[in-house]
Each structure stands twice: as structure tokens, then as C-alpha cells.
Amino acid sequence: MKRFLIIGAILGLIGTVTNKIFISPLPSLIAAALFPFILLANRKFPITVFWLLVFFVYSLVSTFLYYPQSFLEFGFYRYDGNFIVSYLPLLVLPFFRLNVNIDKIFRNFLLITTGISCIVFLINGYNYDKVFTGLFIATNAAGGFYSIVTSLAIIYFLEKKTYNNLYLVLFNAFFLYSSTSRGSILGLLLGLLCLYFVKRNKTYYITFSLIVLSAIQIYILIGSFPEYKKYIMNSPNADMFYNLDMYVVKKYGYVSTKFKNVLIRMYETWPRAIDCFFKSPIFGTGFGSINDVPFKFKQVLPIVLTTNSQENKLFSDSHAHHSFLHFLGELGVLGLTIFLLFWRSVYKFLLNNNYNNKVQSFLLVSFFNLTIMSFTEHRITTPSNALPFVIALSLYYVFVNYQKSLEVKNINS
């Protein structure tokens, strides 16, 4: 069973090269089938699994209370509740240990996905927007994936500076650049910088950078939230997306698509999450509620709980475009705190388990990459971005568990 699970995880890892064909969720399906048995067989959970399970339970209860029919909708698992698909492997694999060649697994993953991407580019080239998205539907999906794969290629090149490793960096960096996903490029660059700080025990620079980034976004929201309330959400016209278009044209004129995306975040998606948070700061307005617009807030318990009673439920990627604000709006301070405790436990696990320097470095870069990208997109739960990291982390857990069992065996002998 362990080998079947590992094979499924490896196939799923390679399958993250596309979100058009559903290969990458394979480990999640296997994990969903095995988790009830894992739950019955184990009383002691790794701290990472514990906090992840708490977040799962909290989010699923919130979904059930908000709109229980969500569980019967495919769109829920693809969009609003895609964290289920993205993180299920991490609920199961950390309970296993197996002697796997972790370096070979990741090397082959890099070679195979790079080869597939090269073939796709030679056949299809750029799309009509002069953008390369590989086997992905959207630019950010492609960009997030290629930022993660490029970081792996860079780690291998830094360890061994050969022409083959250089080509792997250049190909994947080219694919990343061609995706035009600015958040993914920024996430990779800052992720590598964060790894530099970690390796030199200067993590206070990372903390300071995240505080500054948060402060800048808070400053933006102080100016944009009142505009959102007046002209976007609470305009006499019920179509907030039309309201936004009219507001942008009136204030900024006709702008480029890229700049328009920035304005959407400033005046619509980020304020939408803050709107939900202000109405229900402790528990949020319900998991999946941010997409259901225009909001119809209904107070359930004064101060403690308000929900969005909009009858038309929408499952789409029209989310807050900011993972942490998204959690804050739908799950409140309590939900965001639980997720951050889980996310911190992942970071601590990576710091404390250097059983393969290349893989540890790759996972740390990917961790920071996902974190930084999630300040401008809802990347931390999106399967195209999260699954490569989560499956890789889960496989590393299996490897680390085996290495630790050898250490215990050697001590006892």
C-alpha cells in the first residue's frame, strides 16, 4: 500500500505540468480514500498534519453552515474549496516512511516536465495574446507552476554548474517569463532571496519585508475601501463588475489589461474581502461567500457572526486575489490564525529537517514563493500552484521519516 501511495504521488507530481488533464489530483483521491483508516490507526499526529486537519474541519464546518450543497458541486472543489484537492496528500503521506531516492524523484520530475513543456512550446508556441501558458488554462496557473519548477532548476544548477543544469534553468525561466505572470516572477525572485537569508541566519529581514508588504497593502486599502463602498458594491447598479469598469474609465481612462488587473485588486477584490471581515471579524461570513455578490449581509449573532445571504451561489475564480485576505473575509481571524499556525509548522519542519540539502532548499524557496505570490493572488490553495509544493513536501516527509527511523535504529543497536 505504501508503494502504491508513493507511485500515485510521483505520478501526481509529474501531472502538475497541466491543469487541463486531471492527473495531479491523483494523490489527493488516494489520500481521501486512505484518510479514514489513518485517522483510526493513529492517535499521535505530526504537528503539521494536526494544524492542517484543524483547518480542514473548521473550513468544512463553515461550508456546511453557509451552503451545504457546495459539497455536491464540482465547481466547489475546482474553485472555492480547491484547498481540499491541494492539501489532502499532506493529511496522509506524513504518516508513512519509505526508503525512496528523493533526489532521483525530483530530478526526473524536473527533466520530464521541462521536456513536456518544450514539446508543447514547439507545437503550439504563443497563444493569440502572445503568451505561453503551456498545458494550463490561465497565465497565473502557468506562471505559478513554472516559478516553482524554475526554482528547482536553479537549486540543481547552484549545486552542480553543468551545461545541462544551465539549460534546465534557461528553458524554465523562459517559460516563466513568457507566461507574463508578474506575481510568479516576483515570487520566485523573493523566494530565492528568502532562502539566502535563511541560510545565513538573517530571517529578521524576511519578517521585516513581510511587515512592509502588509503595511503597503493596508495603506492602499485605506484609500480604496471607501471608494469600493461608495461606487462599486453599493452603487444603485447591482452589477458590481460593471460598476468597477465604469469607475476605472471615469478615474483612470482606458488602461492596459495589466494595469486594469492592479486596479481590480485595489478597488474590488481586496475590499470585498475586507467588507466581509468587517461584518464578521471572528468567524467570517462563511466559506465560499466572497464570490456570491452583490453581498446581502445577515446578522446571525450581534458582533460575533454575520453571513452573506445572497441566494445566487457562484463557484468561480472570482476570489479575493489575496489568500490571507480571502481567509480573513470568509473564515475570520480564527480561520486565518489556524491556517497561519499550519503554515508556520510547515516552515519549522523544513528548517529542522535537512536530510537532503537540495530538496530542502527547493521546498523552502517554494514555501516563500507561494507565500509572496499569495499577497497578490489566491495562490496558496490553487492546485496548479499549491499541488507541486504539497506533493513534493509530502514525499519529503516520507523520506525524512525513513531517515529518522534509521537514526533511531542505529542508536538502539
62: cell is 463553515
225: cell is 475601501
Return the domain boundaries, the chain: 205-324+326-332
C-alpha 195/C-alpha 179 separation (Å) is: 24
Q: Is the pLDDT of residue 346 over 60?
A: yes
The three-class DSSP label of residue 352 is: helix
On whether the CB atoms of residues 397 and 94 are closer than 8 A, the answer is: yes
pLDDT of residue 304: 85
On whether the CB atoms of residues 65 and 5 are closer than 8 A, the answer is: no
pLDDT band of residue 219 (cuts 50, 70, 90) is very high
pLDDT of residue 340: 98
pLDDT of residue 238: 65
pLDDT of residue 42: 86
Percent of the chain exceeding pLDDT 70 equals 99
pLDDT tens for 311-322 read: 989 998 888 999
Which of 341, 329, 356, 376 minimizes the C-alpha distance to 183? Answer: 376
Which of 357, 397, 388, 353 minimizes the C-alpha distance to 370? Answer: 388
pLDDT band of residue 237 (cuts 50, 70, 90) is low
The amino acid that residue 245 corresponds to is D
How far is CA 386 from each of CA 31, 219, 369, 375, 398, rounded to the nearest angstrom? Answer: 16, 28, 10, 14, 18
